[in-house]
Homo-oligomer: A and B are copies of this chain.
Amino acid sequence: MQTIFEIDSALDMHLHLRDGDMLKLVGPLTSETFSGALIMPNLVPPVTTKEAMLSYKQRIQEACSEDKFTPHLTLFFQNNYSYEFLEDIKDEIIGIKLYPAGITTNSETGVASMDVEVLRPTLESMSKLGIPLCIHGETNGFVMDREKEFMPIYESIAQAFPDLKIIMEHITTKDAVELLDKYDNLYATVTLHHLLITLDDMAGGMLKPHLFCKPIAKRPEDRDALLNAALKAHPKLMFGSDSAPHPKHKKECCGCAAGVFTSPIALQALTQLFEENDSLENLNAFVSLNARRIYNLNPVSKKVKLVKKDFIVPTTYNFKGESVVPMYAGEVLNWTIQAIED
C-alpha cells in the first residue's frame, strides 16, 4: 500500500526567478509544480515601470511555457510613484515590494529612509487602490538583530495605514510571529529553510555556504516559533520559498552569494516536515489556501500527488552555462512527486 498526499494548487508567495538563462533554468522548476507565484522585482535594473514589468512577465511566461502557472508580478517600491501610475498598473500587479536600500541582493536602489512620512505619498495611494505592500524588513544593524529591530517600523506603517495590506516577507524570528497577531493588516511569508535551520546549521559545524541566506537563519527559539505557526497554518502566514538561485561558483568559490535554492524540492520537503510533525492536514492551508484568501487569488487547478518514497535530490540543476545547487543536494527526502494533474 502506498501512502499518498495531495497538494492542491500550491502557491509560492515569494519567489526569485532572475532573468536570461537563469530564468529559463529555474522558471520551469517552479511552474511544473506550483499554480502561481509572487515574483520578486529585484532585477538589475529593478522592475519600476509598466513596460519593464510586462516585458518581464512575458519572459517568465515564455521560460515557463506552462499554461497552468500564473506569475504574479510585483513592482520595486519607489517613493515617487504617482497615484495615476499606480491606478493604471494596479490590475497587472499583485503588490509592491519595498526594500531598504542595500539590504540584500540587488536592493541598492531601495528606499533610504523607512520614515512613514517619507513613504506616505506612495503608501497612501497603495492603500486607496488596495495594492498590498510586501516588505523586506531588516535594519542595517547587527545581523542577528536586524529583523527584531525592524518591528517598530512594521508597527508604524501598520498603524499609519490600517487599510493597507502589509506582508512581512520571509520572517525569521519569534518577534515577527508574535507581531502577526497584533495588527489586523499584517501578514507574513516564511520560507522552507527558515522552518528547518538555525544559524547552527550554517556555521555551527563546518561552514555551509549553501545555507547562507538573508535574512540569516536565527536562534532555535525563533525557528521553533516559525515552525509552530506554519504547522498550525496560522491564517496570516503563507508559504513563500524565497528560493534564490545563484550560480554554483558564486556560492562555493567565493562563498559570497546569499540565498537558498528550494523550488524543485520545496513541496517534497514540506510534506516530509508536516508529516513528521503530524500536521499534514494543515499543509494545503499553509501552501495555498491562506494565500488565496489573503491575496484574493483563484489559482488554476494543479494537483500534485506525492507518494511516500525516497527522492534523491539532484546535486545540481543545469541549463546551458547555468548551474545551481538545491537545498538537500545529494540527500534523500522521503516524499516523491508521483503525478501532477489538473
Residues of A within 8 A of B (CB): 142-144, 198-200, 202-204, 206-209, 212, 216, 219-220, 252-258
Bound complex: CA A143 to CA B207 (Å): 12
**Interface majority SS on A: helix, strand, loop or mixed?**
loop
Q: Report whether B143 and A200 are in contact in the complex, using a CB–CB cutoff of 8 Å.
A: yes
The 23 sampled A-B contact pairs (Cβ below 8 Å) are A142-B199, A142-B200, A142-B204, A142-B219, A143-B199, A143-B200, A143-B204, A144-B144, A144-B199, A203-B203, A203-B212, A203-B216, A204-B216, A207-B207, A207-B209, A207-B212, A207-B257, A207-B258, A208-B256, A209-B209, A252-B254, A253-B253, A255-B255
Q: Report whether B256 and A255 are in contact in the complex, using a CB–CB cutoff of 8 Å.
A: no
**Chain B residues whose C-beta falls within 8 Å of the C-beta of A144 in the assembled complex:** 144, 199, 219
- Of the listed residues A142, A220, A257, the one surrounded by the most CB atoms of chain B closer than 10 A to its CB is A142
Bound complex: CA A130 to CA B144 (Å): 42
Nearest CB to that of A253 among chain B residues?
B253
Which of B208, B216, B219, B258 has a CB less than 8 Å from the CB of A255?
B208
Q: Report whether B142 and A255 are in contact in the complex, using a CB–CB cutoff of 8 Å.
A: no
Measured CB to CB, the closest approach of chain B to A105, in angstroms, equals 10
Measured CB to CB, the closest approach of chain B to A280, in angstroms, equals 29
**Chain B residues whose C-beta falls within 8 Å of the C-beta of A252 in the assembled complex:** 253-255
**Chain B residues whose C-beta falls within 8 Å of the C-beta of A257 in the assembled complex:** 206-207
**Chain B residues whose C-beta falls within 8 Å of the C-beta of A208 in the assembled complex:** 255-256
Q: Report whether A206 and B253 are in contact in the complex, using a CB–CB cutoff of 8 Å.
A: no
**Chain B residues whose C-beta falls within 8 Å of the C-beta of A216 in the assembled complex:** 203-204
Bound complex: CA A248 to CA B89 (Å): 51
**Chain B residues whose C-beta falls within 8 Å of the C-beta of A206 in the assembled complex:** 254-258
Measured CB to CB, the closest approach of chain B to A174, in angstroms, equals 14
